[in-house]
Amino acid sequence: MGIVRFTARWIAGISLLYTCSTSPLSEGGGSRGGNPVIVGMIADTSDSKASVISVSLIPENYNPFNDSLKPVITVSTDSLGRFSITAPDSGTYNIQAYKISNGKRLVHYNIKAVLDSTCVVPTDTVRKPGTIRIALPEDIDLNNDFVYVPGTLIAKRVAEAGDTLMIDSVPPGVFPALCFGRRNSTYSSIIRHDVSVHPNQITTIRYPKWSYCQKITLNTTSSGADIKGNVYGFPILVRLSENNFDFSTAQSGGEDIRFTNTRGNLLPYEIEQWEPSIQRASIWVKIDTVYGNNNTQSILMYWGNAITGDNSKSTEVFDTAAGFQGVWHLNQENGNQIKDATVNGYNGSSQDTSLPKNVNGIIGLCRSFDGIDDFISMPNTAKSSLNFPENGYFTISAWVNLDTLDSTPHLIAAKGYDQYFLRLTYFPAGTPVWEFSKFNSNSTWQTCTTSAQANQWALITGVQMGSKQILYINGSVADSIPNTYQAPGLTRNTSDDFSIGKFQHIISLPNDTEGYCFFRGDIDEVRIDGKARSADWVKLCYMNQRTDDRLVVFNIQDLE
């Protein structure tokens, strides 16, 4: 929480709507003593008789419990809904109106009153009120604390409210701040910025120690990610930038970020990237169910708590119980350890001279491989959960950006040349193809391939479902009818560690003089799942993780 303030975004928008026009009193404004005059008209679309509307002029930072000395002037409209109020002095005021006959209300913000002038407020309409429900923190002072909206008459003592406080008859609109106050004290702290209230609806404020809340919509309709079926236990990627987030309102490392579903249940999340200096963040959030063909599902993001600690936990997002066996974001900047996001801890390493350098990737930072000697190896994974039966169920995927087409094979990731791997190859026709291969016990490879291009990011995904094998490129099926190739003298071998960027052992291939198939280009977000992921899952990964994310929708006006 912090000092009460109006957000710049809100003020800018409200100024465009409600900036008053002024005219010198000498030209017909007329006011005793030269005080400002505020005039306007209030309508009720459901009642042609707009009379008996009570209109109050309120100083902009008015606190209804502690500011009894600040004058609030109340008048009534005439039969046409017109009102005129003489302000006590120049300054910024708000207007709050209430129609006695039907309870409809409104609030007008940011009225600039100037001495010797008349301020004309644009005509507005009273509407049915809404309700604010606030979850109270444990440290609330039941005897002295209250909740209020600065610059309005909206206020209620906490008293013996219990776990929640209800404030009814609230005018609809967006309030710049909802605050806690304390009787006979200057104490004031923000509960939430930019609180939206809608007619006949309840706005629920959870986690009141977090000053900001943003609704995030997940769009899986044809206008968004275009996913037909439900996807379960899915880690969505939330990207923050200057276009949808003010980094100055959060802790320096994003420690106060939280996510919930619409019922208020906290969601597991992992911050992969948080760089306020360039206004970029990449956060993984685990969703129990992403509903297919839906554009109303949403989650909530909270921030703005200066004293809370970090709750980012990669192992809860990429849970082995949900099938994740190895997840490497390839984003670490310091040291030569490449962390596995799962609880398995299959962390990668490389010799200093062979460590791929950090560059900007598809998701935050990634690793750039030089095609000469760069690689990453995951020690002690030879006999691990990265081993799967010959006709088992698993998924391997990676984002890749190939540097050039040079007629040389390049490995993306492998659990051994004679177990399973993803790579670029020119076999068998001499043209560049992406390949997903697994080796069978009858000394044959089973491979799916599709054409490859350089200098563009692609999500390569291989899925094994028993005897079935599918290669996806950018979320779409590229090949589901594998070819088989004999390999006399080779046997299926599960004793190699997992590696990225090269095979663990020298192999004999055409046009590969060193025999390791070093990758040349960028690799990001390598995953091994102990499940055969569905077509909807694979497509959703691509549609969400691509640079023009088609799943996650921010609406900067839709704040709680």
DSSP summary character for residue 9: H
Q: Are β-strands 468-473 and 476-479 bridged in parallel, bridged antiparallel, or unpaired? A: antiparallel
**Cβ pair 427, 510 in contact under 8 A:** yes
Grade residue 15 by pLDDT with cuts at 50, 70 and 90.
very low
Grade residue 25 by pLDDT with cuts at 50, 70 and 90.
very low
**Residue-level length of the chain:** 560
Q: Are β-strands 53-59 and 105-113 bridged in parallel, bridged antiparallel, or unpaired? A: unpaired
The secondary element (H helix, E strand) that includes residue 197 is: strand 188-197
Over residues 319-340, the pLDDT tens digits come to 999 999 999 999 987 777 899 9
DSSP string, 37-95: EEEEEEE-TT-S---SEEEEEEETT--TTT-TTS--EEEE--TTSEEEEE-SSSEEEEE
Residue 369 and residue 488 share a domain: yes
- Is residue 159, in this structure, part of any structural domain at all? no
Residue 346 and residue 282 share a domain: no
What is d(CA 280, CA 240) in angstroms, rounded to the nearest whole number?
A: 6
* pLDDT computed for residue 24 by the predictor: 42
> 11-20, 83-92, 312-321, 522-531 — which is least confidently predicted?
11-20
Residue 491 and residue 441 share a domain: yes
Tell me how crowded residue 22 is: count the other CB atoms within 10 A of its CB. 17
- Smallest Cα–Cα separation from 10: which of 188, 200, 212? 212
* pLDDT computed for residue 508 by the predictor: 75
Residue 507 and residue 422 share a domain: yes
- Is residue 158, in this structure, part of any structural domain at all? no
* pLDDT computed for residue 16 by the predictor: 35
DSSP summary character for residue 225: T
Domain containing residue 48: CATH number: 2.60.40.1120
* pLDDT computed for residue 555 by the predictor: 79
* pLDDT computed for residue 13 by the predictor: 37
Residues 6+ apart with CB under 8 A from 122: 17, 18, 40
Grade residue 27 by pLDDT with cuts at 50, 70 and 90.
very low
pLDDT exceeds cutoff 50 at 346: yes
Residue 371 and residue 285 share a domain: no
- Is residue 163, in this structure, part of any structural domain at all? no
What is d(CA 544, CA 217) in angstroms, rounded to the nearest whole number?
A: 12
Residue 338 and residue 271 share a domain: no
Residues 6+ apart with CB under 8 A from 213: 192, 205, 207, 300, 301, 302, 559, 560
pLDDT exceeds cutoff 60 at 9: no
- Is residue 185, in this structure, part of any structural domain at all? no
- Is residue 93, in this structure, part of any structural domain at all? yes
Residue 383 and residue 315 share a domain: no
> 20-34, 168-182, 229-243, 493-507 — which is least confidently predicted?
20-34
* pLDDT computed for residue 246 by the predictor: 97
Taking the CA of residue 127 as centre, how many other CA atoms within 13 Å lie in the half-sphere pointing to its CB?
A: 15
Residue 552 and residue 469 share a domain: no
User: How many domains does the chain contain in total?
Assistant: 3
* pLDDT computed for residue 524 by the predictor: 99
* pLDDT computed for residue 10 by the predictor: 35
Domain containing residue 349: CATH number: 2.60.120.200
Question: Residue 178 is encoded by which pair of tokens?
Answer: 């909802």
pLDDT exceeds cutoff 90 at 52: no
Residue 484 and residue 353 share a domain: yes
Residue 412 and residue 551 share a domain: no
Range of the domain at 87: 8-125
Question: Residue 507 is encoded by which pair of tokens?
Answer: 């192999």
What is d(CA 551, CA 541) in angstroms, rounded to the nearest whole number?
A: 10
Residue 478 and residue 457 share a domain: yes
What is d(CA 232, CA 317) in angstroms, rounded to the nearest whole number?
A: 12
Residue 409 burial by CB count (10 A; 0-12/13-18/19+): exposed, middle or buried?
buried
What is d(CA 182, CA 157) in angstroms, rounded to the nearest whole number?
A: 9
- Smallest Cα–Cα separation from 462: which of 479, 487, 441? 479
Over residues 130-160, the pLDDT tens digits come to 999 999 988 888 889 999 999 999 999 998 6
- Is residue 138, in this structure, part of any structural domain at all? no
Residue 100 and residue 245 share a domain: no
- Is residue 206, in this structure, part of any structural domain at all? no
Residue keyed to tokens 């320096």? 252
